[in-house]
Amino acid sequence: MTGKNKTTTNAPDAAEPDTKSRIIAVAERMIAGRGIQQMSIRDITREAGVNLAAINYHFGSKERLTAEVLARQVTHLNVERMAMLDRLETDYADGVIPVESVLEIVFNLILCADDKARIAEHTVKMIGRFFMDPDAEVIAMLRPYFLPFKARVLKLLVRALPDIPREEVEWRTFHVFGLLNHYFLFADLHCKECGKKHNVKKELRRLVAFCAAGLKASPGAPHQAHSH
Amino acid sequence: MTGKNKTTTNAPDAAEPDTKSRIIAVAERMIAGRGIQQMSIRDITREAGVNLAAINYHFGSKERLTAEVLARQVTHLNVERMAMLDRLETDYADGVIPVESVLEIVFNLILCADDKARIAEHTVKMIGRFFMDPDAEVIAMLRPYFLPFKARVLKLLVRALPDIPREEVEWRTFHVFGLLNHYFLFADLHCKECGKKHNVKKELRRLVAFCAAGLKASPGAPHQAHSH
DNA sequence: GTGCGTTTCAAACATACGTTTGAATGACTG
DNA sequence: CAGTCATTCAAACGTATGTTTGAAACGCAC
């Protein structure tokens, strides 16, 4: 049925792949650009050079297309991040993993956009759009993909920060992921404002430094309020 | 023309105000709930109990309505925040203002939702939706409202952090505001996940502590990378 | 009461959207 | 060659949207 029946011509030119793949590629770019609800079947098919009915034929509905667009990159990305955590846990067999090492993995996917080009620049932006979508069904789609990783990161951070109350670490970790998402969506904008193209490695160092300090901050020590 | 011709009946009941005000109130709640592009003229008018044509009559277009919804709360909010900065600068005449004091003002508007009820809970969420909107025209609308305050905060933070390079402070401040926005949109969600209703004062202390530590972090000192 | 300006109302308009349909195309199998 | 299957295509369907229209309703001044 939905199987690969790709016109047995044995020259699957990379420039003109599957209709299905072409749709997914354009849809991903469109979601990154204008958001999920604003991505239109008609615009996608026009830009991809396929027929209007192609999406409903290959995916069943617009909603199922967005689900596949999400799954496409995220599943791959997830196994990679999980593997990184595995390596980290075996390296630190005693269980005391530095906060910075965990954060490096959390923020690592911004590197992929530059280094190995496995994940395009607009891919992370697309993920950001998913998280910022107001629709409850959309964010429900995200849960199975991101919750396991987040839970595992949280556990490591709780262990790495024995002096901080667990609930406080949870709160801070929640906002670390929020910052990651904000970075996905607006890093290019900030880059445009300040004029200079950023070095990805440097950005990773910055993110880790900022968040590590925030995570480690003494929670019970508010500053001395000034009088007024 | 557009002047207040509010049916000279001298009983402007608070429960049933202007058609215009009622529209704005519903629109604000709707933007907070489902986003700007998803807010529908028809749903607003139905929920507000006014005629479908009322929006185009009173505001001219849907776009001008959203502009007024934004301006409504933000202008008020801005003069208040600016006044807070004024007071802070006179208090610290020498110019050395603690980072925490500046951050308290930045995050202060989350307090308004609880304390004086001048700004409803959904108002901050609405502002968050504006910032997360993919449409370039929408975020262009925000610039004049928020840029002056942000610029002033940045200047204070740069002065308060003489050991951090200016560009680094800019980068970090950018993400502090990102965190603020993320808080607007998802604080209730995190609250729902962890089950307990949060104390607003405590949340403010947490935000300030986290961001202050991040801002002050030594930028040149990456952690000792573990081998592999 | 008459006239006037503002506001409300039901109805229609034009456009965009996701989806469905049925015929046409093309490739492989028997 | 005939048959079967997956795929493509142009066209239409139904619905939702923002906007416009012209008449009706209302309040107020003369």
Which domain CATH number covers B128?
1.10.357.10
CA Rg value for chain B: 21
Q: Label residue A199 by pLDDT band (50, 70, 90).
A: confident
- Report the distance separating Cα A57 and Cα A177, nearest Å: 36
Q: Label residue B153 by pLDDT band (50, 70, 90).
A: very high
Q: What is the mean pLDDT of chain A?
A: 85
How large is the average pLDDT for residues A92-104? 91
CB contact under 8 A, B194 and A170: yes
In this structure, what DSSP letter does residue B208 have? Answer: H
CB contact under 8 A, A206 and B171: yes
Q: Specify if A18 maps to a domain.
A: no
CB contact under 8 A, A226 and B186: no
Place of tokens 């019970």: A220
Q: Would you state the structure tokens that stand for residue B17, as one six-digit string? A: 């105000």
Could you report the per-residue pLDDT of B39-51, keeping only the tens digit for each?
A: 999 999 999 999 9
Could you tell me the distance in Å between the CA of residue A37 and the C1' of nucleotide C17? Answer: 11
Q: Specify if B78 maps to a domain.
A: yes
Q: Is A218 at the interface with chain B, CB within 8 A? A: yes
Q: Specify if A33 maps to a domain.
A: no
Q: Which residues of A132-169 are buried (b: 16+ CB within 10 A; e: fewer)?
A: bbbeeebbebeeebbeebeebbbebbbebbeebeeebb
Q: Specify if B143 maps to a domain.
A: yes
Q: Label residue B163 by pLDDT band (50, 70, 90).
A: very high
Beta strands in chain B (DSSP E): none
CB contact under 8 A, B178 and A182: yes
Q: Residue A138: in which H helix or E strand, if any?
A: helix A136-160
Do the Cβ atoms of B85 and B40 come closer than 8 Å?
A: no
- Report the distance separating Cα B129 and Cα B22, nearest Å: 20
Q: Would you state the structure tokens that stand for residue A206, as one six-digit string? A: 């910055």
Q: Is the pTM of this model over 0.85?
A: yes
Q: Specify if A53 maps to a domain.
A: no
Q: B168 vs chain A: nearest CA distance in angstroms?
A: 8
Distances in Å between the Cα of A122 and the Cα atoms of A32, A119, A188 are 6, 8, 10
Ordered alpha helix ranges (H), B35-165:
41-48, 54-58, 62-91, 99-106, 109-112, 121-132, 136-160
Q: Which residues touch strand D (CB under 7 A)?
A: A 1-6, 19, 50-54, 57-58; B 7-9, 39-43, 52-53, 55-56, 61-63
Nearest residue by alpha-carbon distance to C1' of D28: B8
- Report the distance separating Cα B119 and Cα B116, nearest Å: 8
3-state class (DSSP) for residue B207: helix
Q: Residue A43: in which H helix or E strand, if any?
A: helix A41-48
| CA proximity to B182, closest of B143, B134, B131 | B131
Closest B-chain CA to A196: B167
CB contact under 8 A, A91 and B226: yes
The length of chain A, given as a count of residues: 228
Q: Specify if A24 maps to a domain.
A: no
Phi, psi of B10 (to 5 degrees): -80, 25
Domain that holds residue A133: 71-216
Q: Label residue A224 by pLDDT band (50, 70, 90).
A: very low
Could you tell me the distance in Å between the CA of residue B1 and the C1' of nucleotide C5? Answer: 10
Chain B residues 122-151 within an 8 A CB cutoff of chain A: 129, 132-135
Q: Specify if A119 maps to a domain.
A: yes
For the CA atoms of B69, B75, B78, B80, the dihedral, rounded to the nearest 10 degrees, stands at -110
Distances in Å between the Cα of A204 and the Cα atoms of A84, A108, A212 are 16, 7, 12
For the CA atoms of A107, A112, A113, A115, the dihedral, rounded to the nearest 10 degrees, stands at 130
How large is the average pLDDT for residues A16-43? 94
Q: What is the mean pLDDT of chain B?
A: 85
Q: How many CB atoms are located within 10 Å of the residue A51 CB?
A: 11
- Report the distance separating Cα B224 and Cα A43, nearest Å: 49
Q: Specify if B221 maps to a domain.
A: no
Number of domains in chain A: 1
Could you report the per-residue pLDDT of B121-145, keeping only the tens digit for each?
A: 788 899 999 999 999 999 999 999 9
